[in-house]
Amino acid sequence: MNKKLVYWLCQIGGWLLYIAFSTAMIVIFGGLGAITQSAILLQIIIFFTLVLFSHFFRLYILRNNWVDLSILQLTVRVLIGALIVAIAAQGIIHIFIYSILKLDDLSAFSWAAFGGYVFSVYVVLMLWSTIYFFIKNTEKNRKNEMEKLALKTDLQEAELMILKNQINPHFLFNALNNIRSLILSDQNRARQMVTHISDLLRYSIQFNASEKVTLSQEMDIVQDYLQLESIQFNDRLAYVLNIADETRELSIPPMAIQLLVENAIKHGLSIQKNGGFIRIESSREEDALVIKVTNTGQLGQKQGREGIGLKNLVERMKILFGPFAKFSLENSSKDTVTATLNIPIQ
């Protein structure tokens, strides 16, 4: 059933019950003779006035996002707001019956009676508010649960895609070929390459299920990756790591920097005749971790078909940090390209 229809059915039905109760009290204390034309007209005025004023109160609540407030903030606002609405509603009702319609057969105006009417409406409005916020809070919790389930599903799908693309098969194939060549000529370097590949694969498997790792953990595997690539590039690859101490224990998505470095090598350095360099920097700027990966090359150069590693990284950033995370890739000089990650510190 339509939410608006349900709201108006509850709104009208609830205040009709209040009018029915009020009419019953008139009969109990005044007898059937108290149900005069003026008394009936009064109940109609009360009904429409309270329906309208409670509806306006709801619109004010929605416009000011009271549902998102803390319990204390919400309680204070409801206590004050319901009192203001009760006074305003009774003020309008009394103006109608005593100044506009001038219903002479009703009892004369008194401040004591006015206060009693305000109190009765205030109590009902508090009950109205309690029921309303209970329903809204239930809807909010249900919506949050649905969003969490959707987030979990999206995250699992993104992680699956990343798992398929974390280790470049071409890179692994070349690394194994280099190891085979080095076994006879340089066994020490061959052993080093096997160790680096082992660490890289272990990290990939161990942290794939994790949403986040520390920057220090990520840099350990990045160094393994860079050392492997240095061997394959025959020392045509130089790299510099400028990792600020205050950023080492901050959290990032696993394989984030490794993907940036892999992209820099594949689409930047690999097409440079004389190789080049990679510089990785980290810094803390206010409430964000900023990571920059700069490499030799230009975005305008022919780079071949891009993989989906960077797209996966961007999707993971959106899932984990929402719109607060930022990624950019641009020419930082006439000879270099810089990829920048801006990750909120949580």
What confidence tens digit (pLDDT) does each residue in 244-260 have?
A: 999 999 988 887 888 88
For the chain, domains (ranges, CATH) are: 3-152 (no CATH), 166-344 (3.30.565.10)
247 burial type by CB count under 10 A (0-12 exposed, 13-18 middle, 19+ buried): buried
User: Can you give the pLDDT at residue 10?
Assistant: 86
Q: What pLDDT is recorded for position 26? A: 77
Q: Does the pLDDT value for residue 168 go beyond 60?
A: no
Q: Which of 64, 13, 305 is nearest to 170 (CA)?
A: 305
In the chain, what percentage of residues exceed pLDDT 70? 86
Q: Which DSSP symbol is given to 250? A: S
Report the pLDDT value the prediction gives residue 243, as an integer from 0 to 100. Answer: 92
169/313: higher pLDDT: 313
Count Cβ atoms below 10 Å from residue 296 Cβ, excluding itself.
20
The whole-angstrom separation of Cα 62 and Cα 133 is 11
Residue 25 Cα distances to 20, 22, 234, angstroms = 9, 5, 97
Query: 24-57, pLDDT tens digit by residue?
Result: 887 887 777 777 787 888 888 889 999 999 999 9
Query: How do residues 186-237 score in pLDDT, each as one tens digit?
Result: 777 778 778 877 777 776 666 555 667 889 988 988 888 888 787 777 777 8
Helix (H, G, I), strand (E, B) or coil at 346: coil
Can you give the pLDDT at residue 305?
41
Locate all alpha helices (DSSP H) within the chain, ordered by sequence: 3-30, 37-63, 71-95, 111-165, 169-185, 187-207, 215-232, 256-267, 309-321
pTM for this prediction: 0.49
pLDDT for the residue numbered 230: 79
Which span out of 97-111, 260-274, 287-301 was modeled with the highest average pLDDT?
A: 287-301
Q: Helix, strand or coil for residue 180?
A: helix
Q: Residue 251 has which token pair?
A: 């959290």
Q: How far apart are the first and last CA of the chain?
A: 41
Task: Give pLDDT tens digits for 84-112.
Answer: 999 999 888 888 887 787 766 667 778 88
Question: Mean of the pLDDT values across residues 132-158?
Answer: 80
Q: What own/partner pairs with CB < 8 Å and gap ≥ 24 does 146-151 have?
A: 151/319
CA–CA separation, 257 and 252 (whole Å): 9
Q: Which two tokens mark 344?
A: 């909120």
